[in-house]
Amino acid sequence: MEVHSHTHTPRKKWTHYLWEFLMLFLAVFCGFLAENIREHNVEKKKGEQYILSFAEDLKKDTAQCDLSIPELTETMRVLQDLTSCFNTLKENIHNTDCLKGIIISSRGFKDFIYTDRTIQQLKNAGGLRLIEDKQIADSIIDYDAMVREMQIHQGVLENLQQITNNAHKSMIDFIHFDELSLKGHTDKLFLLSNDPAELNKYFNSINEFRRGLFGQLVWMRLIKDKATRLLELLHQKGYK
């Protein structure tokens, strides 16, 4: 009968197990590192896309300012005659020709509608952290804060506009006021009261609106300047 000898597998040295562990650790670490690099590149790309989108929003804002500033400037020019017209009417309540331009110019103003689609996305998604350039990120935050502050003023101005429109309706006869509002001209305006106190109250309402319009003009110039400088910064940083 044959006797079979058992084959013994030599035991591996501890250095072999150490090497296997190091290889496994290195594979896991490299995979983790590659995933981090990939995520960083994706987030960097998203940040760049947000900046380009924000630049387009800035261009829309500056275009609005380019429309509003000349209109507000012309309105302020017309309303400079407010004191002169008040004195004219105090002398002769029927000499109302000076009121026509004042009424047309104080009927309303062009609202500034903030193009905030990108900034809202950045806030809601925590996207500001994706913008690696601190100077750009800080400038975006500063610009948004400025526009938000302007919107508070604009809300006050809208209330002043409503008060002024109500004053027009209370002081000017319906037929001619309606004609002036719709067509921009009328033959003659008639004041519904010749009471000096009512006339004074009426002109005070218009004057408050004029002051609010001047504030709006200042804000439009500030926003345009801020947006223009921010666009220049983005251009310098390579975002064209």
CA 216/CA 161 separation, integer angstroms: 12
Instruction: Residue 200: give the domain boundaries.
Output: 14-236
Exposure class string for 51-60: b at 16+ Cβ within 10 A, else e: beebbebbee
Is the residue at 9 inside a domain?
no
Give the CB-side neighbour count of residue 102, counting CA atoms within 13 A. 25
Tokens of 120: 């809202």
What is the model's pLDDT at position 191? Answer: 87
Is the residue at 157 inside a domain?
yes
- Give tens-digit pLDDT for 124-177: 867 677 888 899 999 999 999 999 999 999 999 999 999 999 999 999 888 777
State whether the Cα torsion 140-146-150-152 is positive or negative: positive
Confidence band of 1 (pLDDT split at 50, 70, 90): very low
Q: What is the mean pLDDT of residues 5-9?
A: 51
CA 124/CA 126 separation, integer angstroms: 6
What is the model's pLDDT at position 148? Answer: 97
- Give tens-digit pLDDT for 82-141: 999 999 999 999 898 999 899 989 988 999 999 999 999 888 867 677 888 899 999 999
Is the residue at 106 inside a domain?
yes
Pick the residue with more confidence: 238 or 222?
222
Q: Give residues with Cβ within 8 angstroms of 67, minimum separation 6.
A: 110
Q: Which of 148, 156, 147, 139 is nearest to 224 (CA)?
A: 147
Is the residue at 51 inside a domain?
yes
What is the model's pLDDT at position 183? Answer: 63
Is the residue at 3 inside a domain?
no
Q: Which of 187, 205, 214 is nearest to 78 (CA)?
A: 214
- Give the range among 42-46, 74-78, 157-161, 213-217 with minimum mean pLDDT: 42-46
**Count of the separate structural domains present in the chain:** 1
Is the residue at 7 inside a domain?
no
Is the residue at 175 inside a domain?
yes
Is the residue at 100 inside a domain?
yes
What is the model's pLDDT at position 45? Answer: 76
What is the model's pLDDT at position 30? Answer: 63
Q: Give residues with Cβ within 8 angstroms of 165, minimum separation 6.
A: 107, 108
Q: What backbone torsions phi and psi does residue 172 show, to the nearest 5 degrees?
A: -110, 140
The amino acid at residue 77 is R
